[in-house]
Structure 1
Amino acid sequence: MTGSSSLLNSSRQLSDAAPSSEEALCPPGLADGDTTLTVGKNTSLTLGSDSLTIRDKQPIKKTARNCCGVLTSQQQTTLSIPYHNLLWAEISHDYLTVKYAEPIGKTDVAVASAYYTVGHDLKLKAEIFVERLLDLSYGDAQRRKRVKVLVNPFGGKGRAAKLYYKYVEPILAAARCEIDSETTTHQGHAEEIAAKLDINAFDVIAACSGDGLPYEIINGLGKKANASEALAKIALAHIPCGSGNAMSWNINGTGSPSMAALCLVKGVTHPLDLVSITQGDRRMLSFLSQSFGIVAESDLGTENLRWMGSARFTYGFLVRLFGKTVYPCDLAVKVEIGEKQQIKEHYRAESQGSTSSEGRGGEGLGKSAGLPPLQYGTVNDPLPEDWELVPYDTMGNFYAGNMAFMAEDANFFPAALPNDGLLDLITIRGDIPRATAIQMLLAVDNGTLFDMPDVIYRKISGYRIIPKGREDGYISIDGEKAPFEPFQAEVHKGLGTVISKSGFKYETKGMP
């Protein structure tokens, strides 16, 4: 017996069609006779190649017109639950319980349940069946993750806490995750919490926020005496509850809090490149991007226009575009791949599905090691010998990205990879024709920016940039305003760890 008839009616949302007998293939390691569990007289559960199929024959009674008595027939309903959506299954008190994420609308999911009576004579077989079901549903993903959740109550126009408790926590609880949630109270609070976190008590630290909390969490872990170990051991997950949710779009492929929660439950850990930024006497870690020029000003210089929503960025961009604003600077870059065709080939070679964690930035440094040493020194040190400082008096946009999406539908860096040890760098002159610049703005949406001839796209391992010609302006590090002064960056391959949907690349179309 199911807990609700509506659960079976949702089968079309979960799967276009129930698998046929040919499609219900025996999963690896299972004998043919072990793929189906029959409970009661009318219900069967079958382990298919990619989903659990539940068939339930319900008796239907009709009154016959031409004779006395009642005629009984049966109607079969079928529910197909993709393994990715299955949260948990267990035998308890003579009941088999199945909990899964049921689609609601186009982008969200919610917890649904089905219950079946299991007799004493069937309990052992049912327990074996459930264990195999969980194996198929979780694969390489860790079950019952221990999750430290940080909720920014100011995120998403103050809706982050409501989104978490309504859409996220029920999914984590249904998957039997161990949850320790905490609400941040001030800017920098997440950094303080992460810096004091017991890394042996949790598997995941989840940020229910925009991109601000992931930035704070990474830098908090980076302040620990054993920073390299902490960044490798604690996986970062992002639940998109803010105005900027780039991390979730990259690693989860969604801006939905409930779908991101499902990705946390079913995701696998994967190393993530991090970038050390040195500015003055400060060293910080970046996971997303660094910008100087029109992108930084269009973002940070329009804070007073937040009422416009995402349109404020376009407005700020056009205002500066029609003014042909330039941002003079001196720039030195350590180029690793400088040709676009070679970048495409590199992307294809590196995005074929490897889930290896080799090449972590803290590898070999020991459990007590802090952050890895800086190969290129700091911004205050002499320039590395093989770097050349070049004047760019007409710089329009300097944009370095560690991820592909900078916002929903803003795939600035289609060749970006989570763990190739390289930053993707775009530089564009500020004196290009206005029509060309508008084409570039549109090209971000349609994915053609990379191939435009006026876009200089390189893969690099480090750089130093020195603003000049003005005393004040905007520099953005992961969307946060940084002092308007010289800074230097270098990549640490696989220093961080994330919960990733695919385990080896970002959830973008990538390079053709």
Structure 2
Amino acid sequence: MQMKAYLKDDGLLLEEPLPPVESDGHRLFLNFGCANVTVSTGEAGSAVSESPVIKFKDILWAQPCKTGIHNELEISYVRKLGDRLVACTSVLTVYSLDSEPQKREGTEDTLCNNNSATKVSDESTIFLSEKVLERSYPESEPGRSIMVIINPHSGQGKANKIYETKVEPILKAAQCKITVARTAYSGNASDIAENMNIDEYDMILCASGDGIPHEVINGIYRREDRARAFDKLIITQTPSGSGNAMSLSCLGTLEPSHATLELLKAATVRNDLMAVCTQDADVKLSFLSQTYGLIAQADIGTEFMRWVGQERFLLGVCYQVLSKSKYPCRIAVKYIARTKTELSQYYKKHLNDLSDFSPLSEEDFKLKYADKFIGLEDAADLSLLPDWEPLDEGVCSNMGIFYSGKMPYISKDTNFFPAALPNDGSIDVVVTDVRSGISKTVDGLLSLDKGLHVWKDDVAHIKVEAFRVIPLPGPNDRNFISVDGENFKLRPFQVEILKGIMKTVMSGGCYTETGFVEQTKD
């Protein structure tokens, strides 16, 4: 018997629960109505719990069934298999129902009684499928054209398998037009983004860690038509590497199949970027962070341990803390909020700022402070920047952590910038002083999961429009600078905000919840 479904506000209400979905580790089995679906899964999983509703959020595609029967739709959607999502397709005869059917004692359930529901006879089946799609994609567009860039070496060499088993089946079920490019060398993603025909795509999906989004953004930045390219293309990520901050901060998940559903359904947002300048090289764009000190040492200094996975960073942090290492430097900033009170007020004021989707122009890429840094004989000279201020000399001489960023989550359980906002025109900066001692440093690091470290008295938390860092390593020191998790040559550098340059997608139109709004002090 053909399965009936009823069009409701939140999804398709079924007259019977969905049948279970099971996997033998290679295929997914679903027998439903006239559909018998087999989908690659890549790993075994238990049966999915039954549900009487297919939520619009879970619907990937709807189209008239090839049978030509009135109101018969082929529906593609996701269901849970263990801790991930799998794509399924079923044939349903869809009816409209104005209100929830009520079961009355002594009568047959109206949901199962065809005469109690009004068949959508005044609408074509095509229009009905379009109606389902419209409700399934309230904040986005179905069937997007996507350039997928995979780094085969990401995730300890598992990125290909992750994409093919957890991401691609959902994209295909959603009728996305997919082109896949696999990087062959460092910088390959930049070349792809720089030379691609942007008119053929709506989105660049980085199936990787955070290195590929960094390359993509800089490849687009090098284009002669960069304003139009940033206007046209959405840049997003499915997590496949050791660092997946974009997915966690914007889509709220580190599970690739869940991230895929989110990026298909999430709202488009304009996100600020940061321009990183040096005195002898081209400007680089950064979407995530820049760091000097303990965090850079724990990240870049453990590159040789990538085979360990994400645990390498924790090991690096432990070593740096116990060795009481310090990283002398000079730092100057253009303040937006210099105290925790000012920062809280700024956060509240800009928390609900909306993205400006007016077309970009070259004027939006013009840097305010680069010409006052590039070519200077003395990088510490602030005479051309009278409204900039140096950070305390004692703190800089005993620098533990200097960490600046634009997205809240750097990695799993690392809510480093809880006050970060997508397009508020600011960079969040966190600074610690090694003179506070090991116990306080450890206490702060143990608070990272909830973002409580920024409220510690011995942690400076500020918002700036721009800053300059001049590393002052000792003769035997091997210090590092990290930009978006990538090694950056040790030298003076300056960073400033570029407001609302990058289009990305965010669940609910905002960053993943950090808890900062509840912690904000009056």
Whether 1:113 and 2:89 are equivalent positions in the alignment is yes
> Per the alignment, do residues 78 and 272 of structure 1 end up closer, same or farther by CA in structure 2, a change over 3 Å counting?
closer
Residue 100 of structure 1 pairs with residue 74 of structure 2 = no
Aligned-pair Cα RMSD in Å: 2.3
Say whether 1:185 aligns with 2:223: no
Contact 1:327 1:430 in 2 (8 A): no
For structure 1, which segment, 388-397 or 293-302, has the greater mean C-alpha deviation from structure 2 after superposition? 388-397
Identity %: 33
Q: Which SS does the other structure have where 1:375 is aligned? A: coil
The answer to whether the aligner puts 1:488 opposite 2:494 as a matched pair is yes
Shift in CA distance, 217/371, structure 1 to aligned 2, threshold 3 Å: farther
Given that residues 146 and 203 in structure 1 are in contact (C-alpha distance below 8 angstroms), is that contact kept between their aligned partners in structure 2?
yes
SS of equivalent residue, structure 2 residue 389: coil
Instruction: Note closer, same or farther for the CA distance 1:236–1:316 as it changes in structure 2 (3 Å cut).
Output: same
Determine whether 1:422 maps to 2:382. Answer: no
- Structure 2 unmatched ranges of 5 or more: 19-49, 96-118
SS in 1 for 2:92: strand
Aligned letter for 1:115? V
SS at match of 1:215: helix
Residue of structure 1 in register with 2:338 after alignment: 338
Query: Residue 331 of structure 1 contacts residue 464 of structure 1 at CA under 8 Å; is this kept in 2?
Result: yes
1:498 aligned onto 2:504: yes
C-alpha displacement at 1:78, in angstroms? 5.8
Task: Choose the corresponding residue for 2:366, options 373, 381, 393.
Answer: 373
Matches within 5 A, 1:48-59: 48-56=8-16
- Aligned equivalents of 1:282, 1:121: Cα separation in 2: 61
Residue 124 of structure 1 deviates from its aligned partner by 4.2
Letter matched to residue 261 of structure 2: L
Q: Which residue of 2 aligns with 1:86?
A: 59
2:481 aligns to what? 475
**What are the equivalent positions in structure 2 for 1:382-401 lying under 5 Å apart?**
383=382, 384-390=385-391, 391=393, 392-401=396-405
| Alpha-carbon separation, structure 2, partners of 1:370 and 1:431 | 44
TM-score with structure 1 length normalisation?
Answer: 0.82
Alignment-derived partner of residue 138 in structure 1 = 137
**How big is the shift at 1:410?**
0.2
Q: Is the 8 A contact 1:276 1:284 kept in 2?
A: yes
Letter in 1 for 2:62: A
Letter aligned with residue 402 of structure 1: K
Equivalenced residue count is 446
The residue aligned with 1:28 is none
Q: What pairs with 1:21-420 in structure 2 (closer than 5 Å)?
A: 43-56=3-16, 79-93=52-66, 94=68, 95-106=72-83, 108-116=84-92, 124-279=123-278, 280-352=280-352, 354-357=353-356, 363=360, 365=361, 369=362, 372-378=365-371, 379-380=373-374, 381=376, 383=382, 384-390=385-391, 391=393, 392-420=396-424
Other structure's SS at 1:349 match: helix
Deviation by residue 1:235-259 (Cα, 9 ceiling, x = unmatched)? 1010111111111001110111111
Conservation of the 8 A alpha-carbon contact between 1:207 and 1:239: yes
User: Which of 453, 456, 468 in structure 2 is aligned with 1:449?
Assistant: 453
Contact 1:270 1:497 (C-alpha < 8 Å) held by counterparts: yes
Deviation at 1:388, TM superposition (A): 3.1
Distance 1:336 1:370 in 2: 22
Unmatched tracts of structure 1, length 5 or more: 3-42, 59-76
Give the aligned residue type for 1:376.
Answer: Y
Deviations 1:39-90 (A, max 9, x none): xxxx4322333222111399xxxxxxxxxxxxxxxxxx86212211110111
SS across alignment from 2:222: coil
> What CA distance in whole angstroms lies between the structure 2 residues aligned with 1:241 and 1:123?
47
Offset, 1:458: 0.4
The Cα shift of 1:178 comes to: 1.0
- Matched residue of 2:320: which SS? helix
Matches of 1:431 and 1:204, distance apart in 2: 47
- Kept after mapping to 1: 8 A contact 2:78/2:86: yes
